[in-house]
Structure 1
């Protein structure tokens, strides 16, 4: 079986017709890709709205399951925790209630990084769409501009894909079996609470599987003297250390907490923070070697972050398909964009 072209054309004319067809197809796919970019921009703006600092924010219940070692609520507005009250019933320290100072909100640095990715992605799409959409019909005059626009779109969408992938990874967080030692230098400064926290208590907030995760640790200096009664209890077995995954490990801890936790971040509409001169000068304290006497982990799923994760996953699929289509017409080597 053979396939012939009718009416027959010469090989030279056939090459011209093929080139013209490829130009029209490239112009058409560029136009379709620009329309897909418009949809992506609207979708990312919806994602941005889910992370915007809009009152009253999201109030989350923070409570340990099956007991009341930690019980209370926190309120997230944008990328910050602006309100919170937690009752603690630790075994190694006296019962206490932590109240977040409204003058010093706690920044969640993972959400700050996510906010930056979303902002850069929207700006990139705005730049790609700033050019006028190209017509579906290509001619000799605009063939060069069509090829340049296609190359620019391919490069821009590659950067966009990396940004969206990084955003999804931030929401998902590191694996549960992976050790995270960021708390040693990025714990919340004691001055963010009323009354201020003790130096031997770490309050650290992060993200895991679209949930706000709160890790609290009661610390003990390595060279702290041990009471005789404690030594005797450990020797005869009447007193046992609390078992957890960080027991008997020496950490270098920064008592002053995170240097940037109370500075203005890139998030929009944040209130201006107090000048650095008015903050306690504990951020530059030396690192201290400590043991973790007791560790408590509390998490609370955030509906806005779950919705944000789902939207970003869908947009990643749409972007992947648009990139495949464009690269196929441009005769680029197809590859696996998403894992």
Structure 2
């Protein structure tokens, strides 16, 4: 089947007519995108509100299934854990209860980065709307800033921001060991009473384990990793050696057992030297900032016990659902614009 235009048009005139038709279609699509971008802005503001530091915050339950090795609650307000009480019955530590110091809340690095990305996305949308759809009160703008090419570039940047935000909420793969705990565990001063930390000093070496308290985000849930640590060069009592030799005692088995780690508990104090991660580290998890002050040295430690506690966060789950829907809407808008402009859209 073939299509012919009647009355016949000269090839030169046909090219002009096709170009004018494409320009009209592009102009119509750009105007239609105004409503789409406005809806995206409103949806992003809803996502932003879910991370807003509004009291009383979200109270989340921490409990290991069946055995209740860990049992307690924590309260998240915005990107911080402001209070909480957790009862521990770990096999390598005496039974104890730790509380989060309300005067020194724990800042969640992934949520802080997510908050920054959402703020950047809203600012980017405001800029795009004001430049691509100027009003009478808007200042005189350069013609290039209101072109479809400018709009396409802005939507590409917005798509990258959405992708990074969803990656943070997804978190690192569950099957892969996340090395960020070696430098991002909560500092001892976040707790009442303060947690003890391992030391390389020969005067402080002890066979009694210390505790690493590491919070992260995975599948829109708050995940707590508890690790009991022992200095790698701490002396082992003769009774312990004998018990291990005859089989009356054994090490707890987990994926980090008998491995030496460089532990530097900088946490949220921002006074320590951040650990240098390997190439497999998730780039969405920020490193500890380095400020002037006393730098803490790494301590070589063994992980004697490792416990994972997951707590579903309704606000983060809602944020993920909203952001996923906004990403789909943005992808459709970019695909339509690229098709009319005759461009290949990058994934």
TM-score under structure 2 normalisation? 0.85
Question: Distance between the aligned counterparts of 2:330 and 2:271, measured in 1?
Answer: 34
Deviations 1:102-160 (A, max 9, x none): 1101011000111111110110000000036389xxxxxxxx94895200110001111
Corresponding residue number in structure 2 for 1:180? 178
Tell me, in whole angstroms, the C-alpha distance in 2 between the residues paired with 1:188 and 1:120. Answer: 27
Kindly indicate whether residue 214 of structure 2 is the aligned counterpart of residue 204 of structure 1. yes
Alignment of 1:117-132 (within 5 A): 117-131=117-131
In structure 1, distance between residues paired with 2:314 and 2:232: 41
Residue 21 of structure 2: aligned partner: 21
Higher relative contact order, structure no. (Cα contacts within 8 Å, ≥ 6 residues apart): 1
**2 CA distance for matches of 1:36 and 1:254?**
47
- In the TM superposition, what are the counterparts of 1:35-74 in structure 2 within 5 Å? 35-74=35-74
- 1: distance between equivalents of 2:265 and 2:43? 42
Q: Aligned-pair RMSD on alpha carbons?
A: 2.2
Note if contact 2:133-2:146 (Cα within 8 Å) is conserved in structure 1: no
Tell me the distance in 2 between the aligned counterparts of 1:81 and 1:147.
Answer: 42
Q: Distance in 2 between matches of 1:146 and 1:238?
A: 77
Aligned to 2:108: 108
Q: Could you report, residue by residue, the CA deviation over 1:285-332 in whole angstroms, capped at 9, with x for unpaired residues?
A: 211100011111111010110111111111111011100110111111
Choose the corresponding residue for 2:310, options 288, 299, 303. 299
When the two structures are aligned, how many residues end up with a matched partner?
311
* 1:225 alignment partner in structure 2: 235
Distance 1:303 1:23 in 2: 46
Structure 2 portions without partners, runs of 5+: 136-141, 198-209, 273-290
Deviations along 1:182-213, one digit per CA (max 9) or x if unpaired, are 11111111011111011122111001111100
Report SS of the residue matched to 1:179. coil
What is aligned with 2:138? none
In the alignment, structure 1 residue 189 sits paired with structure 2 residue 200: no
Residues 123 and 256 (structure 1 numbering): CA distance in 2 closer, same or farther, change over 3 Å? closer
Contact 1:30 1:134 (C-alpha < 8 Å) held by counterparts? no
Deviation at 1:33, TM superposition (A): 1.8
Question: What does 1:1-339 correspond to in 2, within 5 Å?
Answer: 2-131=2-131, 133=133, 145=143, 149-199=147-197, 200-260=210-270, 284-334=295-345, 337=347
**What is the CA-CA distance between 1:69 and the residue it aligns to?**
1.2
Between 247-256 and 66-75, the greater mean CA deviation after superposition: 247-256
TM-score, reference length from structure 1: 0.86
Query: Deviation at 1:15?
Result: 2.6
Q: Distance in 2 between matches of 1:37 and 1:216?
A: 43
Distance in 1 (alpha carbons) for counterparts of 2:264 and 2:162: 33
2:226 is paired with a residue whose SS is strand
